[in-house]
Amino acid sequence: MFSFIKSMMWFIKKNWYFYVAIVIVGILISLSNLLPATIVSSLTGAVDKNTITTSFIIKDILLSYLLIMFLIYIVSTTKRVLQNRLKVRLYYALQVRYMENILIQDATFFEHFQAGDLLTRALGDVKSVNFSGSTRLLNIFLEFITIVVTFTAMLFINVPLTLFSIIPLPIIFFFNFYLKKKVKRNWKEVREEASKMGNVILESITNVRTIRAFSKEEENYQKNLVYSNNVYKIERRNLKLNVLFQPVFNSITAISTIIAYGLGSFYILKNGSIEINDFVQFTIYLTMFSGPLTNIGNLLNNFYQSLISADRINEVYNAKSSVIDNEDARNIKHIDNIEFRNFSFKYEDDNFYVLKNINLTIKKGETLGIVGRTGSGKSTLVRQLVRQLPICKGELFINGKFIEDFNQESVRSMVSYVPQEHVLFSRSVYQNVALGRADASSDEEIRHAIELADFAKDIDALPYGLDTIVGEYGVTLSGGQKQRLAIARAFLKNSDILILDDSLSAVDGTTEANIIKSLKEYRRNKTNIIVAHRLSAVMGADHIIVLDDGVIVEEGTHEELMANKGWYYHQYLSQQMEEGGLDEK
Ligand code: ATP
Ligand code: MG
């Protein structure tokens, strides 16, 4: 419980007044709940002593009762309002904190946590922690206060009767201790299975086209069914545990009541150490005493579950990005020169180096072409410049300083990166392009970017022009259109560095030539890095490197590489022949 409170301190510190107010109101509720029993007691006393009068009934019983009920209503409502507010506030704070943490993570994080899992945690686990952090925790405390208050009131009436009556209650604690482990273990399984199910569902939804294309609907459905069944089975076990809680608590409190009645009757009838009206008041308190005990049982059961949920959220909160800036990292204003020196890189899960001893300088205003076989490390190399991957071995300098000396966000803001897999949002074409810049861009700038990307010619063919919604992940656009939309976004950002990672693969030769032409004119003094399979996209570059198995095997201008008669030369010839063949058709 203390570790949970500790993990919530960031929120409690900011909203302490809510917690204090709820505790005060809660104590008032416990105290005011004692009052109705005193009225019943004085009525029983009056009946016993035969002193009932009309004014006693009206004033001391009815009016007092109404007043007490009104008081209880006011304090209970105040508590409910305060707790609901706190709950909403905490939910929002938890979600924001969760999202903030996810947004700063690097590529490695998303290899460890899949989207469905993250979503399951964001919905189910955050909700569970929210309930415990706002209402459950406080209610456990307040129920405990009620127990102490009622217990004290009972002691005031009769000490031995109180002590004997509560003898069976410690059993609850042993039982609770035993169940705690089980509940936690079970809930951990429930949440883990829910995460797996979340992954499968999300995967099925996002890949529905491929699933259909390969007629894998049935297989996928069966896979979903297996996970759903697992969740169902564990949830059932969980429910059984829940059901077990209640009767045990009820039985124990029932034994307490039997002792109180037996002993109470004995005291009244045999030794007269308690008056009948006090005994009536005592039994009312005893029932009030057992209510909170049962409630605490249920609350604790759910609370233990949220301890597991809190651990799961903390796993995400505590995940540290493997891309780390130096302590005194500053913001970068311009990127001029870039230099990889003896640079090697290995992915965490691989046991081989993907980039090996790269030595490469990219000067300001230069256009660099990167080519090479698939899997040779081209994307890995350019992803270093947007700091998606950690530095492994060797150095990467920007403007002559270690890249880690600069704040990674500021480095990213200087780079327009069009990744190999396009990232489109289900908004309009216009809005998708506008995303390229954080500050609002003018209409004209957006249209210009679209033209530079040679996308303007397609706009008329789209049903609503620029306002056409591209559908989730751009499902309503063709491959080439998606690529050009992503390029337009990068043109709009117009940063010091532009990286096109195989971004011209789905466009025809003429379109490619148009885009390269825009690139040359519009980004004359800026640095461009073009990764491509089709060599025509990099022919005009100032410098071209050929990667093979993570090593730069050839470099130079197009002419130099052609003269070299290596991989580039052969590749160029075979591509020429292919295109020539196509032309003939
Ligand atoms: P392509 O032309 O197909 O885009 P590429 O040259 O861009 O290929 P990379 O994506 O850089 O190649 O991949 C280089 C190597 O690194 C490959 O062997 C690939 O399997 C491996 N690799 C890529 N991403 C990861 C990753 N996240 N974890 C582990 N290995 C990876
Ligand atoms: Mg690649």
In this structure, is residue 87 part of a structural domain?
yes
* pLDDT number for residue 77: 95
Range of the domain at 394: 337-584
Residues 394 and 485 in one domain: yes
Per-residue model confidence as pLDDT tens digits over 137-155:
889 888 888 888 888 999 9
| Closest ligand 1 atom to Cα of 502 | 4
* pLDDT number for residue 581: 54
In this structure, is residue 53 part of a structural domain?
yes
Helices (H), 132-275: 137-157, 159-165, 170-206, 208-213, 217-266
| Closest ligand 1 atom to Cα of 381 | 11
Positions of the chain with pLDDT lower than 50, given as ranges: 583-585
- Residue that the structure tokens 């009769």 belong to: 158
In this structure, is residue 323 part of a structural domain?
no
In this structure, is residue 325 part of a structural domain?
no
Name 106's Cβ contacts closer than 8 Å, sequence gap at least 6.
321, 322, 323, 387, 388, 389, 390
Residues 174 and 267 in one domain: yes
Residue 110 Cβ < 6 Å to ligand 1: no
Residues 239 and 341 in one domain: no
How many domains would you assign to the chain? 2
Residue 503 Cβ < 6 Å to ligand 1: no
In this structure, is residue 383 part of a structural domain?
yes
CATH number at residue 272: 1.20.1560.10
* pLDDT number for residue 199: 86
Domain boundary among 268, 285, 317: 317
Per-residue model confidence as pLDDT tens digits over 470-522:
876 666 788 888 899 999 999 998 889 999 999 988 888 888 888 998 888 88
Residues 298 and 346 in one domain: no
Residues 499 and 542 in one domain: yes
* pLDDT number for residue 570: 94
- 533 Cα–ligand 2 center, Å: 10
Q: Where is 29: in which H helix or E strand?
A: helix 16-49
Residues 102 and 198 in one domain: yes
Residues 252 and 388 in one domain: no
Residues near ligand 2 ion, CB 5 Å cutoff: 379, 420
By alpha-carbon position, which residue is closest to atom 2 of ligand 1? Answer: 374
In this structure, is residue 545 part of a structural domain?
yes
| Closest ligand 1 atom to Cα of 550 | 14
Q: Which of 108, 114, 350, 386 to mutate to test the pocket of ligand 1 (most atoms within 8 A of CB)?
A: 350
Residue 352 Cβ < 6 Å to ligand 1: no
By alpha-carbon position, which residue is closest to atom 16 of ligand 1? Answer: 354
Residues 425 and 562 in one domain: yes
133-136: long-range contacts at Cβ-Cβ below 8 A with a sequence spacing of 24 or more?
133/4, 133/8, 133/11, 133/90, 133/94, 133/306, 134/83, 134/86, 134/87, 134/89, 134/90, 134/91, 135/83, 135/86, 135/87, 136/299, 136/302, 136/303, 136/306
* pLDDT number for residue 36: 84
In this structure, is residue 238 part of a structural domain?
yes
* pLDDT number for residue 584: 43
Residue 353 Cβ < 6 Å to ligand 1: no
By alpha-carbon position, which residue is closest to atom 3 of ligand 1? Answer: 374
Domain boundary among 284, 317, 350: 317
By alpha-carbon position, which residue is closest to atom 20 of ligand 1? Answer: 375
Q: Which amino acid is at 567?
A: W
| Closest ligand 1 atom to Cα of 383 | 11
Q: Which of 551, 546, 549 is nearest to 570 (CA)?
A: 546
Decide: 545 and 555 in contact? Cβ < 8 Å: yes
In this structure, is residue 326 part of a structural domain?
no
CATH number at residue 374: 3.40.50.300
| Residues written for the chain | 585
Residue 297 Cβ < 6 Å to ligand 1: no
